[in-house]
Homo-oligomer: A and B are copies of this chain.
Amino acid sequence: MTNSKTDYNKLLSGIVQELKPYFGQGQQADYIPELANVDPNKFGISLAFLDGRTFTYGDSEERFSIQSISKVFTTAAAFGLIGKKLWERVDIEPSGTPFNSLLQLEQEQGIPRNPFINAGALVVTDVLMSNLNDPYADMLNFVRELSGCSSIEYNQVVVDSELDTAYRNAALAYYLKSFGNLDNHPIEVLKLYIHYCSIEMSCTELAQAFHLFARRNRLDCNIPDLTPSQLKRLNALMQTCGFYDESGEFSFLVGLPGKSGVGGGIAAVYPDFYSVAVWSPRLNEKGNSILGMKALELLTSKSGLSIF
Protein backbone atom coordinates (compact mmCIF):
# COMPACT_ATOMS: atom_id res chain seq x y z
CA MET A 1 0.00 0.00 0.00
CA THR A 2 2.79 2.42 0.85
CA ASN A 3 4.62 3.09 -2.29
CA SER A 4 8.36 3.25 -1.76
CA LYS A 5 8.61 5.21 -4.98
CA THR A 6 6.44 8.07 -3.77
CA ASP A 7 8.53 11.23 -3.40
CA TYR A 8 7.54 12.14 0.12
CA ASN A 9 9.67 15.25 0.17
CA LYS A 10 7.65 16.51 -2.76
CA LEU A 11 4.44 15.38 -1.11
CA LEU A 12 5.28 17.38 2.04
CA SER A 13 6.14 20.48 -0.01
CA GLY A 14 2.85 20.12 -1.85
CA ILE A 15 0.98 19.89 1.43
CA VAL A 16 2.64 23.04 2.72
CA GLN A 17 1.64 24.84 -0.48
CA GLU A 18 -1.98 23.92 0.09
CA LEU A 19 -1.77 25.01 3.73
CA LYS A 20 -0.86 28.59 2.77
CA PRO A 21 -4.45 29.93 2.93
CA TYR A 22 -4.70 28.68 6.50
CA PHE A 23 -1.53 30.33 7.82
CA GLY A 24 -2.28 32.96 10.42
CA GLN A 25 -5.68 31.51 11.32
CA GLY A 26 -6.45 30.68 14.95
CA GLN A 27 -4.88 31.68 18.24
CA GLN A 28 -2.17 30.00 20.24
CA ALA A 29 -2.99 28.93 23.80
CA ASP A 30 -2.56 31.82 26.18
CA TYR A 31 -3.96 30.45 29.41
CA ILE A 32 -0.45 29.30 30.22
CA PRO A 33 1.61 32.52 29.99
CA GLU A 34 4.74 30.66 28.96
CA LEU A 35 3.01 29.08 25.95
CA ALA A 36 1.91 32.50 24.73
CA ASN A 37 5.56 33.45 24.28
CA VAL A 38 6.15 30.93 21.49
CA ASP A 39 6.29 32.30 17.92
CA PRO A 40 2.77 31.43 16.67
CA ASN A 41 3.95 31.03 13.09
CA LYS A 42 6.17 28.04 13.69
CA PHE A 43 5.40 25.01 11.55
CA GLY A 44 7.16 21.69 11.42
CA ILE A 45 6.34 18.16 10.32
CA SER A 46 8.18 14.88 10.58
CA LEU A 47 7.08 11.69 8.82
CA ALA A 48 8.90 8.57 10.00
CA PHE A 49 8.37 5.23 8.27
CA LEU A 50 9.05 2.06 10.18
CA ASP A 51 11.53 1.08 7.48
CA GLY A 52 13.70 3.99 8.60
CA ARG A 53 12.95 6.58 5.95
CA THR A 54 12.20 9.96 7.53
CA PHE A 55 10.90 13.07 5.80
CA THR A 56 10.73 16.46 7.46
CA TYR A 57 9.75 20.03 6.71
CA GLY A 58 10.13 23.36 8.51
CA ASP A 59 10.71 23.59 12.24
CA SER A 60 10.74 19.85 12.65
CA GLU A 61 13.75 19.80 14.97
CA GLU A 62 12.63 22.54 17.34
CA ARG A 63 11.29 21.39 20.66
CA PHE A 64 7.87 22.53 21.89
CA SER A 65 5.64 21.77 24.85
CA ILE A 66 3.97 18.44 24.08
CA GLN A 67 1.23 19.09 26.68
CA SER A 68 -1.63 16.58 26.21
CA ILE A 69 0.35 14.38 23.85
CA SER A 70 2.06 13.27 27.06
CA LYS A 71 -1.24 11.58 27.98
CA VAL A 72 -0.47 8.86 25.43
CA PHE A 73 2.87 8.13 27.08
CA THR A 74 1.45 8.15 30.60
CA THR A 75 -1.54 6.01 29.65
CA ALA A 76 0.77 3.54 27.94
CA ALA A 77 2.97 3.38 31.03
CA ALA A 78 0.03 2.95 33.42
CA PHE A 79 -1.56 0.30 31.18
CA GLY A 80 1.74 -1.55 31.14
CA LEU A 81 2.11 -1.28 34.89
CA ILE A 82 -1.32 -2.35 36.15
CA GLY A 83 -2.98 -3.80 33.04
CA LYS A 84 -6.75 -4.02 32.70
CA LYS A 85 -7.27 -2.77 36.24
CA LEU A 86 -6.62 0.69 34.82
CA TRP A 87 -10.04 0.60 33.13
CA GLU A 88 -11.83 0.20 36.44
CA ARG A 89 -10.74 3.73 37.30
CA VAL A 90 -11.01 5.36 33.90
CA ASP A 91 -13.37 4.48 31.04
CA ILE A 92 -12.50 4.15 27.34
CA GLU A 93 -15.41 5.99 25.76
CA PRO A 94 -15.29 9.26 23.80
CA SER A 95 -16.32 12.17 25.98
CA GLY A 96 -18.71 14.24 23.91
CA THR A 97 -17.80 17.25 26.02
CA PRO A 98 -14.78 19.55 26.27
CA PHE A 99 -11.56 18.22 27.71
CA ASN A 100 -11.87 19.86 31.10
CA SER A 101 -15.57 19.35 31.76
CA LEU A 102 -16.73 18.43 35.25
CA LEU A 103 -20.23 17.67 34.08
CA GLN A 104 -19.57 14.19 32.82
CA LEU A 105 -17.51 13.40 35.88
CA GLU A 106 -20.49 14.20 38.06
CA GLN A 107 -22.88 12.16 35.96
CA GLU A 108 -20.52 9.23 36.01
CA GLN A 109 -19.61 9.39 39.66
CA GLY A 110 -15.94 10.13 39.40
CA ILE A 111 -14.98 7.73 36.58
CA PRO A 112 -13.49 9.86 33.78
CA ARG A 113 -14.71 8.95 30.30
CA ASN A 114 -11.24 8.23 28.96
CA PRO A 115 -7.56 8.72 29.83
CA PHE A 116 -7.09 11.51 27.27
CA ILE A 117 -9.32 14.09 28.90
CA ASN A 118 -7.75 15.94 31.81
CA ALA A 119 -9.72 14.11 34.49
CA GLY A 120 -8.66 10.76 33.07
CA ALA A 121 -5.05 11.84 32.79
CA LEU A 122 -5.06 12.87 36.45
CA VAL A 123 -6.20 9.36 37.42
CA VAL A 124 -3.50 7.89 35.17
CA THR A 125 -0.95 10.18 36.83
CA ASP A 126 -2.15 8.99 40.24
CA VAL A 127 -1.55 5.40 39.11
CA LEU A 128 1.99 6.28 38.05
CA MET A 129 2.63 8.11 41.33
CA SER A 130 1.65 4.97 43.24
CA ASN A 131 3.41 2.46 41.00
CA LEU A 132 6.69 4.00 39.90
CA ASN A 133 9.73 4.27 42.11
CA ASP A 134 10.41 7.78 40.96
CA PRO A 135 7.47 9.00 38.94
CA TYR A 136 9.32 12.14 37.85
CA ALA A 137 12.52 10.47 36.67
CA ASP A 138 11.03 7.21 35.45
CA MET A 139 8.49 8.77 33.07
CA LEU A 140 11.11 11.11 31.68
CA ASN A 141 13.41 8.18 31.07
CA PHE A 142 10.62 6.26 29.35
CA VAL A 143 10.03 9.11 26.91
CA ARG A 144 13.77 9.52 26.39
CA GLU A 145 14.16 5.83 25.56
CA LEU A 146 11.22 5.87 23.16
CA SER A 147 12.53 8.84 21.25
CA GLY A 148 16.17 7.99 21.57
CA CYS A 149 17.01 11.44 22.95
CA SER A 150 18.42 11.62 26.43
CA SER A 151 18.29 15.40 26.50
CA ILE A 152 14.50 15.59 26.71
CA GLU A 153 13.45 17.51 29.84
CA TYR A 154 10.60 18.97 31.78
CA ASN A 155 10.34 22.74 31.26
CA GLN A 156 10.35 24.15 34.76
CA VAL A 157 9.25 27.60 33.61
CA VAL A 158 6.14 26.12 31.99
CA VAL A 159 5.51 24.06 35.12
CA ASP A 160 5.68 27.12 37.37
CA SER A 161 3.60 29.15 34.97
CA GLU A 162 0.91 26.49 34.83
CA LEU A 163 0.86 25.71 38.53
CA ASP A 164 -0.14 29.31 39.22
CA THR A 165 -3.27 29.15 37.09
CA ALA A 166 -4.32 25.52 37.05
CA TYR A 167 -7.51 26.21 38.99
CA ARG A 168 -9.76 24.09 36.85
CA ASN A 169 -7.41 21.14 36.90
CA ALA A 170 -7.09 21.53 40.67
CA ALA A 171 -10.90 21.45 40.83
CA LEU A 172 -10.86 18.24 38.77
CA ALA A 173 -8.23 16.68 41.04
CA TYR A 174 -10.13 17.49 44.24
CA TYR A 175 -13.34 16.31 42.63
CA LEU A 176 -11.79 12.97 41.69
CA LYS A 177 -10.49 12.69 45.24
CA SER A 178 -14.00 13.31 46.58
CA PHE A 179 -15.14 10.25 44.63
CA GLY A 180 -12.23 8.24 46.00
CA ASN A 181 -10.61 7.97 42.57
CA LEU A 182 -7.22 9.40 43.57
CA ASP A 183 -4.93 7.66 46.04
CA ASN A 184 -2.52 10.53 46.46
CA HIS A 185 -3.02 14.17 47.47
CA PRO A 186 -4.82 16.09 44.72
CA ILE A 187 -2.26 18.87 44.59
CA GLU A 188 0.63 16.38 44.45
CA VAL A 189 -1.03 14.55 41.57
CA LEU A 190 -1.68 17.85 39.81
CA LYS A 191 1.95 18.87 40.19
CA LEU A 192 3.18 15.63 38.64
CA TYR A 193 0.60 15.89 35.86
CA ILE A 194 1.75 19.40 35.01
CA HIS A 195 5.33 18.18 34.84
CA TYR A 196 4.37 15.49 32.34
CA CYS A 197 2.58 18.09 30.21
CA SER A 198 5.62 20.34 30.26
CA ILE A 199 7.87 17.83 28.49
CA GLU A 200 9.45 19.36 25.39
CA MET A 201 10.11 17.39 22.21
CA SER A 202 10.58 18.10 18.53
CA CYS A 203 8.42 16.68 15.76
CA THR A 204 11.16 14.26 14.85
CA GLU A 205 11.53 13.08 18.44
CA LEU A 206 7.76 12.65 18.76
CA ALA A 207 7.48 10.74 15.50
CA GLN A 208 10.26 8.48 16.64
CA ALA A 209 8.63 7.89 20.03
CA PHE A 210 5.32 7.03 18.36
CA HIS A 211 6.99 4.20 16.46
CA LEU A 212 6.03 2.22 19.54
CA PHE A 213 2.38 2.44 18.49
CA ALA A 214 3.04 1.98 14.77
CA ARG A 215 5.19 -1.09 15.41
CA ARG A 216 3.16 -2.52 18.25
CA ASN A 217 6.17 -4.50 19.37
CA ARG A 218 7.09 -5.34 22.89
CA LEU A 219 9.22 -2.64 24.39
CA ASP A 220 12.79 -2.99 25.51
CA CYS A 221 12.26 -0.26 28.07
CA ASN A 222 12.16 -1.52 31.62
CA ILE A 223 9.12 0.16 32.98
CA PRO A 224 5.98 -0.59 31.04
CA ASP A 225 5.82 -4.09 29.66
CA LEU A 226 3.32 -3.53 26.84
CA THR A 227 1.97 -6.37 24.68
CA PRO A 228 1.08 -5.94 20.99
CA SER A 229 -2.56 -6.32 21.97
CA GLN A 230 -2.25 -3.51 24.51
CA LEU A 231 -0.59 -1.27 21.95
CA LYS A 232 -3.37 -1.96 19.45
CA ARG A 233 -5.85 -0.92 22.07
CA LEU A 234 -4.00 2.28 22.76
CA ASN A 235 -4.24 3.01 19.04
CA ALA A 236 -7.97 2.38 19.19
CA LEU A 237 -8.21 4.77 22.13
CA MET A 238 -6.35 7.47 20.22
CA GLN A 239 -8.72 6.94 17.30
CA THR A 240 -11.89 7.48 19.31
CA CYS A 241 -10.71 9.86 22.03
CA GLY A 242 -7.54 11.62 20.91
CA PHE A 243 -9.01 14.99 19.98
CA TYR A 244 -11.46 15.87 22.77
CA ASP A 245 -14.85 16.73 21.31
CA GLU A 246 -13.32 16.90 17.84
CA SER A 247 -12.29 13.25 17.80
CA GLY A 248 -15.01 12.38 15.30
CA GLU A 249 -13.93 15.23 13.04
CA PHE A 250 -10.29 14.11 13.09
CA SER A 251 -11.20 10.51 12.49
CA PHE A 252 -13.51 11.60 9.67
CA LEU A 253 -11.01 13.86 7.93
CA VAL A 254 -7.69 12.22 8.73
CA GLY A 255 -8.44 8.61 9.49
CA LEU A 256 -5.48 7.91 11.78
CA PRO A 257 -5.14 7.29 15.52
CA GLY A 258 -3.51 10.34 17.04
CA LYS A 259 -3.30 12.81 19.88
CA SER A 260 -3.15 16.58 19.99
CA GLY A 261 -1.84 19.02 22.58
CA VAL A 262 -2.53 22.70 23.23
CA GLY A 263 1.11 23.43 22.53
CA GLY A 264 0.08 22.94 18.89
CA GLY A 265 1.52 19.48 18.41
CA ILE A 266 -0.19 16.43 16.94
CA ALA A 267 1.27 12.93 16.75
CA ALA A 268 -0.42 10.16 14.78
CA VAL A 269 0.30 6.66 13.53
CA TYR A 270 -0.51 4.47 10.57
CA PRO A 271 -0.04 1.04 12.11
CA ASP A 272 2.61 -1.11 10.40
CA PHE A 273 3.76 1.79 8.25
CA TYR A 274 4.62 5.13 9.80
CA SER A 275 4.22 7.65 12.55
CA VAL A 276 4.01 11.36 11.98
CA ALA A 277 4.23 14.48 14.13
CA VAL A 278 3.30 18.02 13.18
CA TRP A 279 3.57 21.27 15.11
CA SER A 280 1.93 24.65 14.66
CA PRO A 281 0.83 26.69 17.69
CA ARG A 282 -2.32 28.32 16.31
CA LEU A 283 -5.37 26.43 17.56
CA ASN A 284 -9.02 26.21 16.55
CA GLU A 285 -11.76 26.79 19.14
CA LYS A 286 -11.65 23.13 20.20
CA GLY A 287 -7.99 23.44 21.15
CA ASN A 288 -6.46 21.54 18.22
CA SER A 289 -3.77 22.87 15.87
CA ILE A 290 -5.39 24.22 12.71
CA LEU A 291 -2.43 23.62 10.41
CA GLY A 292 -1.67 20.32 12.11
CA MET A 293 -5.17 18.93 11.48
CA LYS A 294 -5.15 20.18 7.90
CA ALA A 295 -1.63 18.87 7.18
CA LEU A 296 -2.57 15.39 8.33
CA GLU A 297 -5.82 15.46 6.36
CA LEU A 298 -3.84 16.34 3.24
CA LEU A 299 -1.19 13.72 4.03
CA THR A 300 -3.66 10.86 4.22
CA SER A 301 -5.80 11.97 1.30
CA LYS A 302 -2.84 12.66 -1.00
CA SER A 303 -0.93 9.51 -0.07
CA GLY A 304 -3.99 7.30 0.32
CA LEU A 305 -2.44 6.10 3.56
CA SER A 306 -5.22 5.99 6.15
CA ILE A 307 -6.66 3.10 8.09
CA PHE A 308 -10.15 3.28 6.56
Hey, which chain B residues are within 8 Å of A249, CB to CB?
Answer: 92-93
Bound: A177/B102 CA distance, A:
14
Contact A246 B106 (CB under 8 A): no
Q: In the bound complex, do residue A248 and residue B255 qualify as a contact, i.e. CB atoms below 8 Å apart?
A: no
A94 beta carbon closer than 8 Å to chain B: yes
Q: With A97-B96, A175-B102, A247-B240 known to touch, is A229 a contact of B301 (CB < 8 Å)?
A: yes
CA–CA, A96 to B105, complex, Å?
Answer: 12
Interface segment, one of A14-22, A132-140, A166-174: A166-174
Q: A96-B96, A106-B101 are in contact. Are A236 and B251 (CB under 8 A)?
A: yes
What B residues does A247 contact at CB under 8 A?
Answer: 93-94, 240
The residue from B171, B235, B239 contacting A175, defined by CB atoms under 8 A apart: B171
Contact call B255/A236, Cβ cutoff below 8 A: yes
Q: Which residues of B contact A174 (CB under 8 A)?
A: 167-168, 170-171, 174
Q: A232–B300 Cα gap in the complex (Å)?
A: 11
A70 CA / B185 CA spacing, docked (Å): 29
CB distance from A255 to the nearest CB of B (A): 5
Name the distance in Å between A86's Cβ and chain B's nearest Cβ: 12
Most chain B CB within 10 A, of A94, A241, A245, is at: A94
Q: Which residues of B contact A237 (CB under 8 A)?
A: 248, 251-252
A257 at the interface (CB under 8 A from B): yes
Query: Quick one: closest B residue to A235, CB to CB?
Result: B308
A-side interface mostly: helix
Distance of A104 Cα from B178 Cα, bound (Å): 18
Out of B105, B232, B245, B308, name the residue touching A236 (CB < 8 Å): B308
This protein's copies in its complex: 4
Measured CB to CB, the closest approach of chain B to A97, in angstroms, equals: 7
Contact with B along A191-235 (1 / 0, CB 8 A): 000000000000000000000000010000000000001001101
Cα distance A185–B221 when bound, in Å?
Answer: 42
Output the residue of A173, A216, A246, A255 with the most chain B CB within 10 A: A255
> How far is the CB of A94 from the nearest CB of chain B, in Å?
3
Q: How far is the CB of A121 from chain B (nearest CB, A)?
A: 16
Q: Say yes or no for A56: interface residue by CB 8 A criterion.
A: no
Write the nearest CB–CB distance from A128 to chain B, whole angstroms: 21
Q: Does A114 contact B (CB under 8 A)?
A: yes
A163 → chain B, closest Cβ, in Å?
13
Interface residue ranges of A120-177 to B (CB < 8 Å): 167-168, 170-175, 177
Interface centre among A95, A107, A167 (most CB of B within 10 A): A167
6 extra interchain contacts, Cβ-Cβ under 8 A, other than A92-B249, A171-B171?
A: A1-B272, A95-B96, A102-B171, A174-B174, A237-B248, A257-B308
Could you give 16 example pairs across A and B, Cβ below 8 Å?
A92-B249, A93-B247, A93-B248, A96-B97, A96-B104, A96-B113, A168-B175, A171-B174, A171-B177, A229-B301, A233-B252, A236-B252, A236-B255, A236-B308, A239-B239, A240-B240
